[in-house]
Amino acid sequence: MSAWTWTINVISQLAKPGRALASPVVSLLPPSAEELSKNWATLVCLVDKFYPDIVEVVWEIDDKSQTDGILNSKSLKASDNTYSMSSILTLTRAKWESSEKYSCIIKHENSAAPIVSTINRSQCTTA
């Protein structure tokens, strides 16, 4: 992608004049018991009601950055002109059971600080 194309893409994503910024609402869902019985663990981070359509998602396991096993969806525009997206972290059951703290961290221009949603494995009913 050329620098020109990149610049146009970024400009097209910026907030439109007169449109209020909206901070994301974040929910983190633990793996299901059924999935764990198949030796997998998928955590789903739902990011909802944000504007403009630019967010950064970071995953941490026990306060260490996680880069493997992540799949981010494209943002979808809702009828209220805000956006939603999801980020999925897939782990083996062994990895899930060997760690305690799982965090989905969202960075958005309307949030002064990152929005952090955390699950502690020992507090999950599927643990």
25-54 pLDDT, tens digit per residue, is 999 999 999 999 999 999 999 999 999 999
Predicted pLDDT of residue 84: 98
Beta bridge partners of 110: none
Tokens, residue 79: 């009828």
Kindly report the average pLDDT of the chain as a whole number: 89
Task: Say if CB 63 and CB 109 are below 8 A apart.
Answer: no
* Residue count (the chain): 127
Domain of residue 105, residue span: 21-123
Q: Is residue 12 part of a domain?
A: no
Examine the pLDDT at 2 and tell me if it is beyond 60: no
Q: Is residue 65 part of a domain?
A: yes
User: What phi and psi, each to the nearest 5 degrees, are found at residue 44?
Assistant: -120, 125
Predicted pLDDT of residue 105: 98
Q: Is residue 117 part of a domain?
A: yes
d(CA 102, CA 61): 5
Tokens, residue 70: 């992540």
Q: Is residue 81 part of a domain?
A: yes
d(CA 76, CA 85): 6
Structural domain tally of the chain?
A: 1
Q: Is residue 6 part of a domain?
A: no
Predicted pLDDT of residue 27: 98
Tens digit of each residue's pLDDT (9 = 90 or more) over 80-113? 999 999 999 999 999 999 999 999 999 999 999 9
Q: Is residue 77 part of a domain?
A: yes
Predicted pLDDT of residue 20: 86
Tens digit of each residue's pLDDT (9 = 90 or more) over 5-30? 444 444 445 555 567 899 999 999 99
- Residue 93's CB is within 10 A of a number of other CB atoms, namely 15
Indicate the pTM of the whole model.
Answer: 0.83
Task: Specify the CATH number for the domain of residue 39.
Answer: 2.60.40.10
Q: Is residue 29 part of a domain?
A: yes
Q: Is residue 5 part of a domain?
A: no
